[in-house]
Each structure stands twice: as structure tokens, then as C-alpha cells.
């Protein structure tokens, strides 16, 4: 699909409006959720290693704080743009409401290919960004976190630069930090765990046997790699994995641990160098329509769209990425009887453990990984059950159902609050 014609924020509005209509809401009831509360664009001049100055563009969008401080990651990617960040911020509002954690939604981004920066340049860029958006962030205002292209190290630099203005450690300003600097055990694997729980649940609900299921996972970043590993540990067959260079496919299953080892030194290594019995190579576009039962798109937006949706062979989709499916594709998939566990539920494990990290920062008392993961499982299971029930009772897709669950919470809270904080 033509990249320019795809506007993720318009996509979000379409789903929001249709969920509101299902709930019988008047536009006035949720009008504040149709526009972000605040959009900040900043210029970030950085001295590069060779001495010249380059100016990068950064954003922080605060969509809604009806249910708590704005919350959401910071994306470092060359395609970052305001419509994308707005959509990602709104999805965070919905996501936090679906899993019932006391947060609103926000998102940030820097238009940069971080792979082309040295460690020093990345650090200076992050520090500049932290200070540039510091007037609107803070542990009770807006709490960033990692997203595509950003890492725990980047969160540590962010925390340090922000804190330096106040001459004390302020760990609660950002989540997804390394465990050694006020991070939470289990945060790095949390999104993957959440996806695995949703995967397990949706197989149960649709009566599928774990050992019969072939799974294709697109993307091998923090989300794709952990979910692929956990899903194969459950006994399902992972038949396809990919990175930016393309995909590997094997009908008898891929050894996910071997694939991980293969990418351990260079995550962008050409997948064609991965040799194993029966392995075929394909593009990321081919992976979306490959022969499998469950598809886990865990890379970027707009992967399943009007053009390829009708060719999808999977019967179940669990969205690891944010916004991998367009509204037009949603309709096609649902007409084909495909069950889709939406991003705002499936990948909510990350922000849920971000919440746990923030709670630990606030109370200055840290939990074991076991405690974190079992609390996460409980939160994900409850959210899944609620969305599933709403979906079956109202005969709507799980995406519409998730928006309905979220809208209900948001609109109710808004009614109690009144006019001021949106």
C-alpha cells in the first residue's frame, strides 16, 4: 500500500467511532478522545562525532490523562512522523484502559535511524530530547518508556538527564530502565510474556491443540524474539521468523534458540546466512501470507492491509506490534472468520510491567521476577477474558470489543471528573 495514503491516526478514529457507536455513545460523550491533549515538536541539534552539527526532529504527544499520567514509549526510527506518534499515543490511552492500569496515553519519537549513530551520538541525542520535553514530563505527569529502536540504556540516559535538573534521582520519570538503575525485573521480557498469554488463551477459546499449531512471527526485536521463544517453549511449532533483511521459513519448525544465537552479534544480519535443514528464505511481505495457523506480526504498522489481507492463511492473528493491521484489512479478516487479538490487548504486557516498575520506584521496594510475572499473568488474563466476553456478547471483533471496554472506563471516569483535565 502507498505509505502516504495510510494515516494511522485516521485509522484509530475510525475504530474509536465504531466502538462508540456499538456502545450507543453520543459523540459529545467522547469528543475529547478524538484529539490529543497536547502535541510537542522539538528540534534537537547534536554535535556529531566528526564535529558537524545535525538537527533532529523529536515529538511528544500526550493523548489523554483521564485515567492517570500520560504513558508510552519513545520511538527512534527514520520514518517517525506526527500522525504516527499521535496514533501511537491514542493507542496507549486505549491500551492502558483495556488492561485497567491507572495511566493515560502518550508517545514520543525521534526521526532518526539510531543504527547509524555512535553510542556517544545516541547518548547526546537522548539527553537533548529529555531536556527538550522535560517541561511536560515527570513521574506524575507523563512517563516515557522504550519503543521500537530505543533501549533500557536510552531510558537510563533519559532518567539521568531529566533528574540532573533537580539534583536528585527521579527514577519514576521513565520506565524500561536497566535493573541496575531502578528498573524492574521482568520488564525486558514482559511484552513477549503478554503475547504468549494471549496466544495460549486464544487457542483455548478456539479449541486448538498447541502441538498442532504452526506459528509465523514477523520481527525479532524485543517483542518478536521473546514471544517466538515462549511460544515454541509451549510446544507450538514456530515455522517462520524474520528481521529487517527478510524471513526464514521451515514447515517442520525453526529452532528459535538457534535463530536467536545467529542474530546475537548483529540483529540486522542477512537471514540468508542462517543455514538449517529445510529452511526457505522469503520476504517479510511473504511471511504475512505464509502457510501457518497463527500469525504474530511483531514489527511495525501497516503490515496487513487492503492489498494482502485476503491472502492471509492464518486463522488466528495475535498482534505484537502496534497497528500492524489497517481498518480495511480488519474488515476483510473478520469476513474471512479470522480471530484477531488486537495490539491494545496482546502487547499490553510491556506497559503493564512498566506500571509495576513505576510502582516499585514510588515505593522504593523491589519485587522478584516471579512476583512481577505472576502479577502480569493475572492482569493479562483478566483483560483477555473481559475483551473476549464483550466480543462474543456483542458479536463484534476483539478489536472493537477492546475499544468498548476502554471507552466505558474512560467515559465513566470523565463523567465523574468534569471539565478540567480533559
Q: Would you count residue 322 as binding ligand GLU (CB under 6 A)?
A: yes
Q: Would you count residue 109 as binding ligand GLU (CB under 6 A)?
A: no
Shortest CB 355 distance to ligand GLU, Å: 8
Q: Which of the stretches 277-285, 348-356, 375-383, 395-403 binds ligand GLU when contact is defined by CB under 6 A? A: 348-356
Q: Using the minimum distance from each CB to ligand GLU, give the nearer residue, 160 or 343.
A: 343
By rule CB under 6 A, what string of x and - marks binding of each residue 164-183 to ligand GLU? Answer: -----------xx-------
CA distance 107 to 96: 13
- Of 338, 350, 380, 400, the one binding ligand GLU by CB under 6 A: 350
Shortest CB 185 distance to ligand GLU, Å: 15
Q: Would you count residue 145 as binding ligand GLU (CB under 6 A)?
A: yes
Q: What are phi and psi of 365, to 5 degrees?
A: -145, 125
Shortest CB 215 distance to ligand GLU, Å: 21
Shortest CB 92 distance to ligand GLU, Å: 6
Shortest CB 134 distance to ligand GLU, Å: 17
- Of 110, 304, 351, 373, the one binding ligand GLU by CB under 6 A: 351
Q: Using the minimum distance from each CB to ligand GLU, give the nearer residue, 190 or 247.
A: 190
Q: Using the minimum distance from each CB to ligand GLU, give the nearer residue, 183 or 259.
A: 183
Q: Would you count residue 219 as binding ligand GLU (CB under 6 A)?
A: no
Shortest CB 319 distance to ligand GLU, Å: 11
By rule CB under 6 A, what string of x and - marks binding of each residue 48-77 to ligand GLU? Answer: -----------------------xxx----
Q: Which of the stretches 5-13, 307-315, 344-352, 363-371 binds ligand GLU when contact is defined by CB under 6 A? A: 344-352
Q: Which of the stretches 113-121, 347-355, 370-378, 396-404 binds ligand GLU when contact is defined by CB under 6 A? A: 347-355
Closest by alpha carbon to 405, among 342, 328, 334, 316?
342
Q: Which of the stretches 28-36, 346-354, 384-392, 405-413 binds ligand GLU when contact is defined by CB under 6 A? A: 346-354
- What b-and-e string marks burial along 286-299, b requiring 16 or more CB atoms within 10 Å of the CB? bbbbbebbbbbbbb
Question: In three state form, how does the secondary structure of the chain look?
Answer: CCHHHCCHHHHHHHHHHHHHHHCCCCHHHHHHHHCCCEEEEEEEEEECCCCCEEEEEEEEEEEECCCCCEECCEEEECCCCHHHHHHHHHHHHHHHHHCCCCCCEEEEEEECCHHHCCHHHHHHHHHHHHHHHCCCCECCCEECCECCCCCHHHHHHHHHHHHHCCCCCCHHHCCCCCHHHCCCCCHHHHHHHHHHHHHHHHHHHCCCCHHHCEEEEECCCHHHHHHHHHHHHCCCEEEEEEECCEEEECCCCCCHHHHHHHCCCCCCCCHHHCCCCCCEEECHHHHHCCCCCEEEECCCCCCECCCCHHHCCCCEEECCCCCCECHHHHHHHHHCCCEEECHHHHCCHHHHHHHHHHHHHHHCCCCCHHHHHHHHHHHHHHHHHHHHHHHHHHCCCHHHHHHHHHHHHHHHHHHHHCCCCC
Shortest CB 97 distance to ligand GLU, Å: 13
Q: Would you count residue 189 as binding ligand GLU (CB under 6 A)?
A: no
Closest by alpha carbon to 9, among 85, 95, 97, 109?
85
Q: Using the minimum distance from each CB to ligand GLU, give the nearer residue, 223 or 312.
A: 223
Shortest CB 93 distance to ligand GLU, Å: 11
Q: Using the minimum distance from each CB to ligand GLU, give the nearer residue, 354 or 397.
A: 354
Q: Using the minimum distance from each CB to ligand GLU, give the nearer residue, 81 or 308.
A: 81
As annotated, the active-site residues are: 107
Residues that bind ligand GLU (CB under 6 A): 71-73, 145, 147, 175-176, 322, 347, 350-351, 354
Amino acid at each position: 500500500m502507498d505509505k502516504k495514503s495510510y494515516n494511522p491516526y485516521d485509522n484509530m478514529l475510525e475504530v474509536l467511532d465504531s466502538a462508540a457507536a456499538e456502545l450507543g455513545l453520543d459523540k459529545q460523550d467522547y469528543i475529547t478522545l478524538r484529539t490529543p491533549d497536547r502535541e510537542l515538536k522539538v528540534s534537537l541539534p547534536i554535535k556529531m562525532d566528526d564535529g558537524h552539527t545535525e538537527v533532529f526532529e523529536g515529538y511528544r504527544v500526550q493523548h489523554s490523562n483521564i485515567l492517570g499520567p500520560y504513558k508510552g514509549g519513545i520511538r527512534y526510527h527514520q520514518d517517525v512522523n506526527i500522525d504516527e506518534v499521535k496514533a501511537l499515543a491514542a493507542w496507549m490511552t486505549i491500551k492502558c484502559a483495556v488492561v485497567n492500569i491507572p495511566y493515560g496515553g502518550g508517545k514520543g519519537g525521534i526521526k532518526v535511524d539510531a543504527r547509524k549513530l555512535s553510542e556517544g551520538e545516541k547518548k547526546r541525542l537522548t539527553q537533548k530530547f529529555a531536556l527538550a520535553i522535560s517541561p511536560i514530563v515527570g513521574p506524575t505527569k507523563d512517563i516515557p518508556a522504550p519503543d521500537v529502536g530505543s533501549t533500557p540504556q536510552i531510558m537510563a540516559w533519559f532518567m539521568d538527564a531529566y533528574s540532573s535538573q533537580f539534583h536528585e534521582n527521579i527514577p519514576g520519570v521513565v520506565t524500561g530502565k536497566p535493573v541496575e538503575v531502578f528498573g524492574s525485573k521482568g520488564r525486558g521480557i514482559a511484552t513477549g510474556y503478554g503475547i504468549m498469554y494471549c496466544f495460549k488463551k486464544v487457542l483455548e477459546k478456539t479449541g486448538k491443540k498447541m502441538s498442532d499449531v504452526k506459528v509465523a512471527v514477523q520481527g525479532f526485536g524485543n517483542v518478536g524474539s521473546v514471544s517466538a521463544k515462549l511460544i515454541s517453549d509451549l510446544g507450538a511449532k514456530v515455522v517462520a521468523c524474520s528481521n529487517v533483511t527478510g524471513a526464514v521459513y521451515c514447515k517442520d519448525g525453526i529452532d528459535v534458540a538457534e535463530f536467536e544465537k545467529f542474530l546475537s552479534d548483529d540483529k540486522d544480519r542477512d537471514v540468508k546466512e542462517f543455514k538449517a535443514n529445510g529452511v526457505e528464505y522469503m520476504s517479510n511481505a511473504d511471511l504475512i501470507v505464509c502457510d501457518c495457523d497463527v500469525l504474530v506480526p511483531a514489527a511495525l504498522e501497516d503490515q496487513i492491509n487492503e492489498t494482502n489481507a485476503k491472502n492471509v492463511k492464518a486463522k488466528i492473528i495475535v498482534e505484537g506490534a502496534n497497528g500492524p493491521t489497517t481498518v480495511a484489512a480488519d474488515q476483510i479478516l473478520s469476513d474471512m472468520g479470522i480471530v484477531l487479538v488486537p495490539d491494545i490487548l496482546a502487547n499490553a504486557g510491556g506497559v503493564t510491567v512498566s506500571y509495576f516498575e513505576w510502582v516499585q520506584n514510588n515505593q522504593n521496594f523491589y519485587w522478584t521476577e516471579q512476583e512481577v510475572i505472576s502479577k502480569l499473568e493475572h492482569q493479562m488474563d483478566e483483560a483477555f477474558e473481559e475483551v473476549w466476553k464483550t466480543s462474543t456478547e456483542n458479536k463484534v471483533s476483539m478489536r472493537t470489543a477492546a475499544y468498548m471496554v476502554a471507552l466505558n472506563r474512560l467515559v465513566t471516569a470523565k463523567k465523574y471528573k468534569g471539565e478540567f483535565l480533559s
